[in-house]
Chains A and B, each alone.
Chain A
C-alpha cells in the first residue's frame, strides 16, 4: 500500500493571462527525496509555493498530509504548518536575529518549551548542519553556503515530516553542495523525513533524488516523471535528454 504525503491532481497556475503550467498531477511518497526539476522560468518555485499553501492554484487540488493547506485556517492550519519545514532559496533568515534565535522561532511558535529547551534544540540543529560555532552570529556575518545550511536548520527545528527545499545547491561550491546533498540523504534515511527539493543542479538531482518530475516552460506542464537516473539513461523527450546531457536544446 502506498503512503502518499503529498498529492497534486490536475494543478494549473496562471498569473493573469499568463499560464505557467497546467494539468500537473503527481504524488510524493513518505520518506522519499522527491525532486522538482526543470529549466529556468518553468514554474518550479511557483509549484513549491502552491505546495506549501502560499499561493492557491488556479485549478486542481493539492493535499499535504491529507489536508488542503490553502483552505485550512486557524488551529488546523497551524498544526499542519508545524509538520512541514521550508528552506528558502536565500535562506530567508531574519537579519536582526542570531542564527540560534532564527532556529528557535518556529519552536517558539509551535510549542510551549521554555527558552533553555528551545536554545538547546537550536544548537543541536545548527550543529547537525555544521554551524555549531556560528550560533550567535547574525545572518549578515556568514557566507551564502552557511545561510543555506542555517535555513535548513531552521526548517528542521520542529522535526517536520516533510521538508521543502528551494534550490538548496544554487550558488554553492561543489564541495559545500555535495555536503548539503549528504546531509539531505542522511536525514532522509535516518529520520524518514520526506524531502521535496526544487533544483536544476544536475549533480544534486542524481545524487539525492529517489523520484522526480520535470516541468517545461514550453509544454506548460509535466514532461517527465520517474527515477532521475532512468530519465538520464532512457529519457526520450528531447528536453529531458538535453537537460540530463547538458546539451543546448534542439532548435533552441
Chain B
C-alpha cells in the first residue's frame, strides 16, 4: 500500500513523512491531520523522499506545512520534484503582509466623503452637459433625432398604456372601497368621488405613473445605455464626432418628459372609472358621481398634477440615462445601472412630490 503516512515526533521536532501518491483526494483527506501534527512543533522535518506522484493539491499540502520553519527532504522521483518546483515558482517569494494604515476609521470617513462628493460632482456635470446640449438644440431643433424621440415615446408611452389602465382602474376601485368604510358611518359616501378625484389628479395619478415609468423605462434606459457603454458604442459615437448627449440622452429625456403627463392622465381617467364602478355598486347613479366630480374638481388640480408629472418624467429620464452612461465595466455593471435607475427614480419621485406639496401649499393651489 502506498498511502501517505506520518511520523510525528513528540519532542520539539515533528517529522512528517509522506510516501506514494499525494493527489487532490489524499491531500483533502490528510489536510487536517497533517496540520494538526505540525501545529506546535518548533521544527518540522518534511520528508517527501518517497512521494512518487504529486499534483498541485499535494504540493499545496507540503508547502502549507513547510512555510518557513521546515527542513525539506525533496522527492527522489523527477516528476513530483518538478511539480513541487513549479508550484513554488508559481507562488514566488513570500510577500510581506500589507502595511496597516494608521487611523483607518478616520481615513475611511474621509475616503467616503470624497467618494460622495465625487459622485455629486459627476451628477452635476452630467446635468450641466445635458442642459448645454439641450440649449444648443433650441435654435436648431431639427438636429435632434426626432425618430428616436418617437421610438421612445412609443416604448415608454403607448406600450405602457395597458399597464397604466389596469393599475389605474384597480387603484380607483381600491381607493373608493377603502374610503366608503369610514364615510358610510357619517353618511358621506356621496363625497367619495371628490376624495378619490382629488387624490388621483393631484397626487396618486402622477406618482403611480412615475413609478411605472421608473420601473419600465428608467431601467430600460439604464440597461440599454449601460450595454452600449460596456460595448464601447458610446466611445465610438464620441470618436465619430457625435455627441452622446444629443444622440442618446436628450431623445430619451424628452420622450420621458412628454409621455409622463399622458400616462398620468390615463391613470387619472381609469382611476375615476374604477371609482365610478364602485359607486355604481354602492347604488349611486353615474350622473350623481359626475356632478360631484364637476362640482369639486378644479382644472387647477388636474393641471398641477400633469405639470408635476412632466417634471417627474424629466427626472426619471435623466436618472435612467445617467445611470446607464456611468455604468462600469463587466457583467454586473448593467444590472447595477438598472437598479440605480429604478431606486434613484423612485426616490427622486417622492422627494420632488414633497417639494411640490410644499410649493403648492405656499402658493395656495
Q: Which residues of A contact B (CB under 8 A)?
A: 95-96, 107, 110-114, 116-117, 120-121, 123-128, 132, 138-140, 157-159, 190-191
A123 touches B24 (CB 8 A): no
Contacts A/B (CB < 8 Å), 19 sampled = A111-B57, A113-B27, A113-B57, A117-B27, A117-B31, A117-B57, A120-B60, A121-B56, A121-B57, A123-B91, A124-B59, A124-B60, A124-B90, A127-B92, A132-B90, A158-B24, A190-B86, A191-B82, A191-B86
What separation, in Å, do the CA atoms of A157 and B328 have in the docked complex?
29
Neighbour of A124 across the interface among B24, B27, B82, B91, CB < 8 A: B91
B91 touches A120 (CB 8 A): yes
Q: Which residues of B contact A (CB under 8 A)?
A: 24-25, 27-29, 31-32, 55-57, 59-61, 63-64, 82-83, 86-92, 328-333
Closest to A158 in B: B24
Cβ of A190: which chain B residues have Cβ within 8 Å of it? 82, 86
Cβ of A191: which chain B residues have Cβ within 8 Å of it? 82-83, 86
A113 touches B28 (CB 8 A): yes
Closest to A192 in B: B79
Q: How many A-B residue pairs have CB under 8 A?
A: 78
Cβ of B330: which chain A residues have Cβ within 8 Å of it? 95, 138-140
B90 touches A123 (CB 8 A): yes
**Within the complex, what minimum Cβ distance (angstroms) separates B132 from chain A?**
31
B28 touches A159 (CB 8 A): no
A120 touches B28 (CB 8 A): no
Cβ of B24: which chain A residues have Cβ within 8 Å of it? 107, 110-111, 113, 158
B90 touches A128 (CB 8 A): yes
What separation, in Å, do the CA atoms of A117 and B59 have in the docked complex?
10
Cβ of A114: which chain B residues have Cβ within 8 Å of it? 31-32
What separation, in Å, do the CA atoms of A96 and B86 have in the docked complex?
29
Neighbour of A120 across the interface among B29, B63, B89, CB < 8 A: B63
Cβ of B91: which chain A residues have Cβ within 8 Å of it? 120, 123-124, 127, 132
Neighbour of A113 across the interface among B31, B92, B328, B332, CB < 8 A: B31
Please provide the 6 A-B residue pairs with the shortest distance between their CB atoms, ordered closest to farther.
A140-B330, A124-B90, A127-B90, A112-B28, A128-B90, A95-B330
What separation, in Å, do the CA atoms of A112 and B89 have in the docked complex?
24
